[in-house]
Amino acid sequence: MNCQQCQENFDGLLDGRLATPDADAARAHFAACAACGAAWRDYEAAWKAFASAPELEPSSNFVARVMSALDATEREQPASGWILTWPRFLRLGATAAVTAIAVSVASIGLLQKDVNLAMLDQRLHQDLLTELPVIQHLELLKDLDVIRHLDQLSPPVDMEEIEMLLQEILST
Amino acid sequence: MPLDPDAELMVKVRRGSRAAFETLMTKYHKPVINMIFQSISDPVEAEDLAQNVFLQIWKTRSRYKPTAKFSTWLFTIARNMCLNEVRRRARHRAESLDQPPKETADGTEQPLQVADPTAMSADDAALRGELHKQVEAALRTLPEVQRTAMMLLRHKEMPYEDIAKVLGCSLSATKSIIHRARETLRARLKPYLRP
Ligand SMILES: [Zn+2]
């Protein structure tokens, strides 16, 4: 094992992902090579310092708070009940309208994105292009009250279909 | 194949079990809050965002597929929501300054400048030793993807394969992300590791 191979194995050693013969070879190299031995000690110590650094302690009532927020959200949801009383053909129309709104909202989002992209640094730009999560656009949809309860409409709106639609819009 | 305990709980959550949801939240809220905190630096806002993450999990529970690991699903949603928040802040900053955020000299993303010393309690601040302060500072200078990888790796030593799923990267890219992050930590912390 040469120095480069040895140092490439640091993570495998730290995370227990090296087969025993490779781990033994790396340790033998540390013993013989002062530079790699010192590099390993720093590498390991830096990781241990990170892993043992104190974490933020969440508020003791965090879980209870989320549960009450959840209750509040659930209580709000019958707001979409009015639509359920519509005749079926109207409900289908509403579903189509909601989808259309979803599409236009997503397009607005896309336009805003283009404007904002120009202002962001390249790294952020790259992030947006490669990992833009659809969830972001569903977040955007949440702002419109009608769309807020999409998944509770009857007949149900296929959320996955809308997500796919958004994906398509975003990929063009 | 039997489901892992989290997936079993999540199957109950899908059926509407609040008790199962509470159990999962009790198990995971700390690492989720900490992951978010490392990106937005404000403990109160980190909790608010974490709350939204869990509400999102509840709202979209019907879309959880027991073939997916719950932790991977949770951290993916947490990361996406956190990225959205960071981007929203970056947009806000860019708009208010009417100019793009500047890159650092080495081309990495600019560390978030939102750390507010008053946001941390006096006790907290006193308890952190110099090394721990340096760890936190070093972590904040990492690009988001490296910082997230470090936080996930710290969380009960999540396997690289799961980290890769959360990051949306290949396994080999994930290995390299982890290595670069640790190299940076090593370089930044070296002066504090040995006298
Ligand atoms: Zn060597």
Mutate: best of A42, A56, A65, A148, partner B, most B CBs <10 A? A56
Q: Is the pLDDT of residue B133 over 70?
A: yes
Domains, chain B, with CATH or none: 1-94 (1.10.1740.10), 120-195 (1.10.10.10)
Lowest mean pLDDT segment, chosen from A65-69, B45-49, B61-65: B61-65
Q: Do A56 and B34 touch (CB under 8 A)?
A: yes
Q: Which of A15-29, A135-149, B5-19, B152-166 has the lowest mean pLDDT?
A: A135-149
Q: A75 falls in which pLDDT band (50, 70, 90)?
A: confident
- Summarize the confidence of residues B65-86 as an average pLDDT: 91
For residue B11, what pLDDT is reported?
A: 92
Q: How far is the CA of A17 from the centre of ligand 1 (A)?
A: 20
- pLDDT greater at residue B111 or residue B84: B84
Q: How confident is the model at residue B32 (pLDDT cuts 50, 70, 90)?
A: very high
* Share in percent of chain A as helix, strand, coil (round to 5): 80, 0, 20
Contacts of B36 (CB under 8 A, 6+ apart): B46, B49, B50, B53, B78, B82, B85
Minimal C-alpha gap between B125 and chain A (Å): 11
The residue in chain A having the minimum alpha-carbon distance to the alpha carbon of residue B82 is: A136
ipTM: 0.79
CA of A10 to the centre of ligand 1 (A): 12
What pLDDT does B146 receive?
A: 96
Question: What pLDDT sits at residue A94?
Answer: 53
**B119 in contact with A at a CB cutoff of 8 Å?**
no
Q: So where are chain A's domains?
A: 3-52, 77-171
B133 touching chain A per CB within 8 A? no
Per CB-CB distance under 8 Å, the chain A contacts of B94 are 116, 119-120
The confidence score (pLDDT) of residue B23 equals 97
Q: Mutate which of B102, B186, B190 to disrupt the A interface (most A C-beta within 10 Å)?
A: B186
Q: Cβ separation of B154 and A51 shorter than 8 Å? A: yes
| Chain segment B97-115, per-residue pLDDT in tens | 665 444 444 444 443 333 3
* Residues whose CB falls within 8 Å of the CB of residue B125, separated by 6 or more in sequence, listed in order: B117
Mean pLDDT of chain B: 83
Q: What is the pLDDT of residue A142?
A: 41
What average pLDDT does the segment A41-64 reach?
Answer: 94
Is the pLDDT at B83 greater than 80, yes or no?
yes
Q: What percent of chain B has pLDDT over 70?
A: 82
DSSP per residue, B82-101: HHHHHHHHHHHHHHHHTSPP
